[in-house]
Structure 1
């Protein structure tokens, strides 16, 4: 909890400079990012497009992310991660600014939106693995669960306002201005991340302690000292693949989530805006129910600050089961208030899953290869998402809008139950000070030549 000194509220002692800057930058970009999907969908609808157009644009962004994720993960393990994040932020700001200009001038064409969406996806492919490796390098291992829960709470609080504001602005002034706001917040986030010191170069970890920073800031230098120059990118990717495939719980959940995510994105990014346009009254109510989901994400973050489930992936899978509620509610034609409740519950599930997954990765993945493993995680998790977006329109044409939504809800539920058949998923437990954590961890394949051996035990976590 925050410390209070002479009437002032201060951040917790473990929240160092790097953590605070990273959290602040993520909150800033989250304000714009929450409204951007709403703006893009309704811009396409106002251009005369339908489910197919939304599917093409969403699919292009996701396909580009999938194609470049592994490269992004290798780059993030070889270059300063904060610099990779800044470059990705600026690149995405430029692509969103170009899209905003086309929409505002009324000159946007579908092929242009598809290309700019793909550019945005490439930026995400470099940003995501770097961010997952960066945020948990800025805090001590002991405080990582609380730090990540608070980080997610701050981000999701921003997304509540961003989604509600985005929907209202689309209705009031049009989608182009919302896209311009997203470009501005991305540029501001990149500017903030320029102030990150980042980890010291390999062999200079002591400099981080000598600089007089907090223990958490010094931990940044210690964590990165494990990462060497490496023999080459292909060798890095092979090492990351060995780390990924050596853990059955890891690849089983990623395969499961890949299908769930395809159904989720098809339901909420393609079919959902169509339902909102036809039945709910347009972008404003759709923005409100997305804000309700953001409120659920915040509530889930507050829950996870206090609740520490022992069976991490069992609790995380229970959270994923809640993802099916919005699609089922949309298919059932429920009132807006009921849909808002379903989105709220889905948000809680999202944070429960995200925090539990982060802790599992933190415990089991070596720091030196974390971004590469995170890239395989991201790649598997989003690989089928372009298929889901492309298939949404044909599915709605064959089954009807409600039938397609029921199919998405059923797919999410079925895969979430099937993954529990894997014993390691049910049994993977949190390591605490009271648990027998001194027992040896399962053997990990030897690192590729030229890479230093990583420190055993919990390492990093996703952000």
Structure 2
């Protein structure tokens, strides 16, 4: 097995990795900055909701198409183009906010562009590691990316908060814009031979259909993604919508911020242990990780104390690290390179569409069963779904053998 940092010795991966770290740092700053930019224009939750929805809706609608585009063209080129477009769109956003000319409809249009571009860049990004590194280096590479993402998710929002308070949200958005352009420039240094695309259909929609047919043929992609839909819906509603409501009456916003930051720490720390782990039954690990990801619900529904909730989020972060690693290793071993982004896009589609489902459903459920009842109920549902999935042999019989991915007929 490779050492933890050995993937960085490969120049192509090194430039890709540095670009992604820069990109993620800028992106982690953008959420705080955009929210305050909207509230400076229109101090209402509905305005902020429209701006956020403007990116999330096209993200879901175009995800499957994005996967087909990422498989059809060289992924490094696709990522570079997406970063340039995002950089330009965010530069316009920053300029409008800094000059005081931004209106809500400007931000809605620009965020819609960002959502469409993300639908293409997300599956392209997830298909990069298997073409940048040999199989023995990939586990370390996935964990390095996870650690970097968790680290910037702690640092970025804090930096953005300071910058928003001192210079204004427009300047934080300008840094995010520059991060996209820097990442795009670094991707120019990634030199890869074009992959075999002899099986590509005559149209992109044909490639989408082929990807869906291949996912059904594999047998485990759709059931696995369906489980992800349920768990993402539970987490988005139970933790990230209802969680702050419960925290407001118990540990306060400061306590909630401290507790949730423990999740990123959990991701970071778990990577050191997972680097030495040998995963053989990935779907079993994924289902256990899904349940552990929901542990904060158990605390929110019973005894809300800062230290206990922080431990729960730390466990959730460690579970996320295990989940991401298991899924990435499974897909890169079982899916041909020419189909990688489409399979990742199917999983992404199920995951992203779950978010509004959970966010919308949690309100009526709280009205019927109460906040603590919903949290406990959601955790029970998570356990039941995982237990049911572990009875499905199409999932539990999957093994990681280290064999090369199959050829695409």
Q: Compared with structure 1, are the counterparts of its residues 405 and 129 closer, same or farther at alpha carbon in structure 2 (3 Å cutoff)?
A: same
| Pairing partner for 1:323 from 267, 281, 293 | 293
Number of aligned pairs? 408
User: Can you give the 5+ residue segments of structure 1 that lack an aligned partner in the other structure?
Assistant: 4-9, 202-223, 445-452, 456-463
Report Cα offsets for 1:262-285 as digits up to 9, x if no partner.
232334554455566676554x65
Name 2:19's counterpart in structure 1.
Answer: 25
Q: Distance in 2 between matches of 1:55 and 1:312?
A: 37
- Tell me if 1:379 matches 2:349: yes
For residue 323 of structure 1, report the CA deviation from its aligned partner: 1.7
**Contact 2:289–2:319 under 8 Å retained in 1:** yes
Report Cα offsets for 1:397-425 as digits up to 9, x if no partner.
66565555555544444433332221222
For residue 257 of structure 1, report the CA deviation from its aligned partner: 0.3
176-185 vs 290-299, which deviates more? 176-185
Name 1:252's counterpart in structure 2.
Answer: 223
Report Cα offsets for 1:133-184 as digits up to 9, x if no partner.
2222000123222222223223322323224434555566665554443333
User: Can you give the 5+ residue segments of structure 2 that lack an aligned partner in the other structure?
Assistant: none
**Contact 1:25–1:192 under 8 Å retained in 2:** yes
- Tell me if 1:349 matches 2:296: no
14-23 vs 114-123, which deviates more? 114-123
Report Cα offsets for 1:97-144 as digits up to 9, x if no partner.
444556666776655544443322212101011111222200012322
Q: Distance in 2 between matches of 1:117 and 1:397?
A: 32
- Tell me if 1:49 matches 2:55: no
Q: Distance in 2 between matches of 1:102 and 1:280?
A: 37
Name 2:70's counterpart in structure 1.
Answer: 76
For residue 43 of structure 1, report the CA deviation from its aligned partner: 5.8
- Tell me if 1:426 matches 2:379: no
TM-score (norm 2): 0.85
Name 1:37's counterpart in structure 2.
Answer: 31
1:322 is paired with a residue whose SS is helix
2:401 is paired with a residue whose SS is coil
| Pairing partner for 2:281 from 286, 311, 317 | 311
**Contact 2:283–2:395 under 8 Å retained in 1:** yes
Tell me which protein shows more helix as a share of its residues: 2
Q: Distance in 1 between matches of 2:106 and 2:7?
A: 48
Q: Compared with structure 1, are the counterparts of its residues 358 and 107 closer, same or farther at alpha carbon in structure 2 (3 Å cutoff)?
A: same
- Tell me if 1:454 matches 2:404: no
| Pairing partner for 2:272 from 302, 322, 327 | 302
**Contact 2:250–2:304 under 8 Å retained in 1:** no
Q: Compared with structure 1, are the counterparts of its residues 44 and 278 closer, same or farther at alpha carbon in structure 2 (3 Å cutoff)?
A: farther
Q: Compared with structure 1, are the counterparts of its residues 192 and 268 closer, same or farther at alpha carbon in structure 2 (3 Å cutoff)?
A: farther
**Contact 1:14–1:140 under 8 Å retained in 2:** no
Q: Distance in 2 between matches of 1:399 and 1:110?
A: 36
Q: Compared with structure 1, are the counterparts of its residues 247 and 35 closer, same or farther at alpha carbon in structure 2 (3 Å cutoff)?
A: same
Report Cα offsets for 1:319-341 as digits up to 9, x if no partner.
11122123443455723333322
RMSD, aligned CA: 3.5
174-183 vs 22-31, which deviates more? 174-183
2:129 is paired with a residue whose SS is helix
For residue 19 of structure 1, report the CA deviation from its aligned partner: 0.6
**Contact 1:323–1:412 under 8 Å retained in 2:** no
Q: Distance in 1 between matches of 2:150 and 2:142?
A: 12
Name 2:193's counterpart in structure 1.
Answer: 200
| Pairing partner for 1:293 from 238, 247, 263 | 263
